[in-house]
Amino acid sequence: MPINKSKKWFVIFAIIFSCSLLWALTGTDIYKEISEAVRLYNEVFRQLLVNYADELDTKELTETTVRDMLRELDPYTVFMTEEEKEPLDVLSKGTYGGVGLRISIRNDTLTVISAIEGTPGMRANILPGDQILKVDTVFTKGLDVDKAARLIRGAIGSKVDLLIRRPGFGEPKVYTLEREKIQVHAVTYSAQLKPGLGYIKLAEFSKGATAELKSAIDNLNRQNQLKSLILDLRSNPGGLLEEALSVAELFTNPGDTLLFTRGRTPSANRVFIAQKKPFVRPEVKLVLLIDGGSASASEIVAGIIQDLDRGLVIGSPSFGKGLVQTIFRINAERSLKITTAKYYIPSGRLIQKSDYLKNPKVVRQGVAGDTLFFSRNHRPLKGAGGIVPDVKVAPNTMPEYVTELWRQNMFFTFAMKYRSQFNQIPKEVDDQIIQQFREYLDNVGFHYYEKKEKDLKNLEKQLQSDSRFANRTALLQQFYAVFDSTRKAEFDANRQFIIQGLSSEFATLQNGLAGRTAADLKYDPVVAAAIAQLQDEVSYRTTLGYNR
């Protein structure tokens, strides 16, 4: 079967590229391996294109084989189209063209969490809880958040039509908004939890994160001069290395080694040393909060603070992502993100967990390093990936009953109904609201099955299909009665969790993400542990190794 012109040029290009590479490379072992690998790949590809029974889609086959090849390595070495690269561009620029809406999926519906202040979404009075049914001509049902966000974003100055329904307030309406330059906010909340005790939530390390953090610290200092600061990095997936190092410099001293990277190429081996005077006074006590969602840049900052004994790290162990990626442009539409080095924090610890390779056979790894390291004050620290907190505090374990209330969006739908019915949002969840919520659950038929109850129902189905037990499954009803009686007591047993859930949703409707964060902090055991440490001078200094 003859190949078409574009495919012929593709094959010719591959052969020319291979020959040029062979001509250019020296006779060292590594270059011989490269030349042999390229020759094998090109020959297999050529034979397929020329001889396969059906005509092949060259572009699709090429991209698929490249993606499959990279899947054998680590999760962060990936082939990217321009659309896939967009989140990285937003992170690196710190801005995007859009209307300034924070969105999520609630009850399978694209829902507004909040509108960013000063944006088209805020000026159009789009409120938390509003449901976006359509973006221009595309219905949003079934779309994930990332896809919906890409539809809403666009060129600055262009317009987008959003069909929005406000539950309980009439028919959906079309909002025509002009996209503007939207600033990505890394600091999502800051406040003084007690006089002189500040709290800042840093959601990501996007461009401008350090400037936002400095501004938040300044604002807190103006309220009451800070004596202590909690920097919350939980669920912070990371971001830009330069922002992470700049954030670390706010708390460290000139000359402190902050980070070094190691890779196979000279450009991958770097050492980063603090150059600036600390922005935060050394006498200000510091606590960083981390969890399993704290990764990459978050772990760099937490690790630096821990290794240099500048502050305490509290929470649960971090994710363990310490691989450096570099983006290489392949052509106008495609890029390759390759892991080129590994991060090491001041004590010499490698942040990356050891089990990151999908197929270890294709990577020649070095000998495993040490697993015990020491901080500046000679505190022993665990290596082998991730950051282990100085004080471990597990988040609240949510009972199954409450988990189902969240999963079925009972708190959210009740809060929306309450706002619609009374045209107001309560400041506190009192006994009357609790009773109304109980009645609401009964009216909507809220129900859930415990795992053991589900197992029992599966057993019942199996027994019913067996003639020996067809008339005896009624015996199981007494077990179902036990589950029913237990369920009736679940509401009262979980009253505090229910108050927390309702408070969180009411606060979101009232003040968006900031309101939700403020409400949730009141019930946060990790924040409570941080406050306790900061208020106990002896414990704080002893944990950091100053009272040895």
Given a cut of 70, is residue 18 above it in pLDDT?
A: no
The residues annotated as belonging to the active site are 296, 307, 321
Instruction: Please give the average per-residue pLDDT across 179-186, as a whole number.
Output: 86
Given a cut of 80, is residue 275 above it in pLDDT?
A: yes
Task: Write the pLDDT tens digit of every residue in 279-303.
Answer: 999 999 999 999 988 989 999 999 9
The pair of structure tokens assigned to 78 is: 């990936």
Burial grade of 512 (CB within 10 A; 0-12, 13-18, 19 or more): buried
Specify the DSSP element, H or E, that contains 432. Answer: helix 431-444
Instruction: Please give the average per-residue pLDDT across 115-127, as a whole number.
Output: 81
Q: What is the predicted pLDDT for the residue at 227? A: 97
Alpha helices by DSSP H, 264-398: 297-307
Q: Give the SS3 label for residue 57.
A: coil
CATH 3.40.50.2300 at 187-325+342-354+365-392, yes or no:
no
Q: What is the predicted pLDDT for the residue at 25? A: 43
The pair of structure tokens assigned to 534 is: 């900061």
pLDDT above 90 as % of the chain: 42
Given a cut of 60, is residue 235 above it in pLDDT?
A: yes
Indicate the range of 316-330, 378-392, 475-489 predicted with least confidence: 475-489
Instruction: Please give the average per-residue pLDDT across 336-362, as a whole number.
Output: 86
**Rounded Cα gap, residues 312 and 266, in angstroms:** 35
Instruction: Please give the average per-residue pLDDT across 315-343, as a whole number.
Output: 88
Instruction: Please give the average per-residue pLDDT across 174-192, as a whole number.
Output: 90
Given a cut of 90, is residue 127 above it in pLDDT?
A: no
**Rounded Cα gap, residues 81 and 333, in angstroms:** 6
Contact 106, 412 (CB under 8 A): yes
Q: Which residue has the higher pLDDT, 413 or 87?
A: 413
Q: Which residue has the higher pLDDT, 475 or 499?
A: 499
Q: What is the predicted pLDDT for the residue at 472? A: 66
**Rounded Cα gap, residues 147 and 139, in angstroms:** 12
Rounded to whole angstroms, the maximal C-alpha distance in the chain is 82
Per CATH, the architecture of 95-183 is what? Roll (2.30)
Q: What is the predicted pLDDT for the residue at 468? A: 74
Given a cut of 60, is residue 23 above it in pLDDT?
A: no
Confidence tier at 199 by pLDDT (50, 70, 90): very high
Confidence tier at 366 by pLDDT (50, 70, 90): low
**Rounded Cα gap, residues 323 and 268, in angstroms:** 11
Q: Which residue has the higher pLDDT, 173 or 23?
A: 173
CA-CA-CA-CA dihedral for 48, 52, 58, 64, to nearest 10? -70
The pair of structure tokens assigned to 140 is: 């949003």
Q: CB under 8 Å to 403, separation ≥6 — which residues?
A: none
Given a cut of 50, is residue 420 above it in pLDDT?
A: yes
Alpha helices by DSSP H, 145-240: 145-152, 209-223
Highest average pLDDT, of 25-29, 122-126, 243-247, comes from: 243-247
Q: What is the predicted pLDDT for the residue at 303? A: 97
Instruction: Tell me the whole-structure pTM to 2 decimals.
Output: 0.80
**Rounded Cα gap, residues 472 and 460, in angstroms:** 10
Indicate the range of 8-22, 78-92, 338-352 predicted with least confidence: 8-22
Confidence tier at 312 by pLDDT (50, 70, 90): very high
Domain boundaries in the chain? 5-56, 95-183, 187-325+342-354+365-392, 400-523
Q: What is the predicted pLDDT for the residue at 256? A: 96
Instruction: Please give the average per-residue pLDDT across 397-404, as a whole number.
Output: 86
Task: Provide the mean pLDDT of the chain.
Answer: 86
Task: Write the pLDDT tens digit of every residue in 33-42.
Answer: 888 888 888 8
**Rounded Cα gap, residues 130 and 9, in angstroms:** 52
Q: Which residue has the higher pLDDT, 362 or 508?
A: 508
Phi, psi of 314 (to 5 degrees): -125, 145
Q: CB under 8 Å to 475, separation ≥6 — which residues?
A: none
Considering only CA atoms, which of 247, 123, 145 is closest in space to residue 186?
A: 247
Task: Write the pLDDT tens digit of every residue in 428-484.
Answer: 999 999 999 999 998 998 887 777 777 777 877 777 777 777 666 667 777 777 777
The pair of structure tokens assigned to 443 is: 């009216």
pLDDT above 70 as % of the chain: 92
Same fold for the domain at 95-183 and the one at 187-325+342-354+365-392?
Answer: no
Q: What is the predicted pLDDT for the residue at 21? A: 47
